[in-house]
Structure 1
Amino acid sequence: MFKKILTLSAVMLLSACQPLSQMTPMEVLTAVGTASISAQDGKTLEEKRFKAIKASKLEAYRELSEQIYGFRVSGEMEIDKERLGIDKANGEVDGIIRGAEVIASYPVGDSYVTEMRLDLRKMKKMMEFGEVQSVPRNTSILF
């Protein structure tokens, strides 16, 4: 009798740790990027619109990267004589996106919106084609 109760208790405890629903692996991610047209630098409305299109696409890529690789957050706070002095927070995303597709790109009021889709299986397959070389920041290129 004791063995039955012990076995039943063990089964109940182990089943309580299981999730209520099974997580399904995400195979397709979506992202939306937006950018203000009037906030862009440019002499003409067309130039500002073109820059907003590019900025909204870059924002969508950033969102895809954030979903895949995560978002790094760092902070710093300094207290001197019981008063808050320096209080900083920074966020950063870093990653390589391959095979993303623009689903739609359109204006909405003063903003431009870009919707993107990324099939993770396609991205994984494309990664087999070669290694990515990092691009150095803040360097001058001489020809």
Structure 2
Amino acid sequence: MKTWLIMVMLLLLNACHPLTQMRSDELLNAVGTASISIQHGDTLEEKQLKAMRASKLEAYKELSEQVYGIRVSNLMKVDDQTLGEDRTLGMVDGIIRAAEVISSYPVGDSYVTELELNLRKMKEMAKYDESHHVPPNNVLIF
């Protein structure tokens, strides 16, 4: 009985842990990869450069998903009780500031880019920078 009482007391003391002392993660990490061989280019160096850029963009997309979430839309058609068309679309939209490239390197036929984002630094930069509208993914502006 005494052991049971001690365990209950310890659980109650742990439950009273103040929220202000809990660790808050301000750093986010993301990894992007891109295949080298599928890139368009005349030389291996050109393909590697394009894969490097694609992997960096992929890592930024990963950070955007972590910060802003991902919008998932689905269209499903049923005709005469049979499934017809079934399409799912995922979309990420956001502005990432202050991300730093931690590392960028080839691994086999892929290029890998690792990014780190300090959320506090990103919020501070947003105070001093003008935000621009990001166009929908079907509109390209050059």
Does residue 29 of the first structure (1) align with residue 28 of the second (2)? yes
The C-alpha deviation readout for 1:57-86, integer Å capped at 9, x for no partner, is 000000000000001000010010111111
The C-alpha deviation readout for 1:108-135, integer Å capped at 9, x for no partner, is 0000000010011110111111221225
Does residue 92 of the first structure (1) align with residue 91 of the second (2)? yes
Superposed, 1:5-44 pairs within 5 Å as 24-44=23-43
> TM-score, normalised to structure 2's length?
0.79
Does residue 131 of the first structure (1) align with residue 133 of the second (2)? no
Stretches of 4+ moved more than 4 A in 1?
18-23
Give the equivalent residue in structure 2 for 1:119.
Answer: 118
Shift of 1:24: 3.4
Tell me if structure 1 keeps the 8 A contact 2:94–2:134.
no
One-letter amino acid of the counterpart of residue 138, structure 1 = L
Give the equivalent residue in structure 2 for 1:77.
Answer: 76
1:109/1:82 CA distance change after superposition, 3 Å: same
Give the equivalent residue in structure 2 for 1:55.
Answer: 54
Give the equivalent residue in structure 1 for 2:7.
Answer: none
RMSD, aligned CA: 2.2
- Structure 2 CA distance, aligned partners of 1:81 and 1:47? 52
One-letter amino acid of the counterpart of residue 40, structure 2 = D
Residue 125 of structure 2: SS of its match in structure 1? helix
> TM-score, normalised to structure 1's length?
0.79
- Structure 1 CA distance, aligned partners of 2:18 and 2:50? 44
Q: Look at both structures and tell me which one has the larger radius of gyration over its CA atoms.
A: 1
Count of equivalent residues: 124
Segments of 5+ residues of structure 2 without an aligned counterpart are 1-11
- Structure 1 CA distance, aligned partners of 2:17 and 2:84? 47
Identity value in percent: 60
- Structure 2 CA distance, aligned partners of 1:135 and 1:77? 28
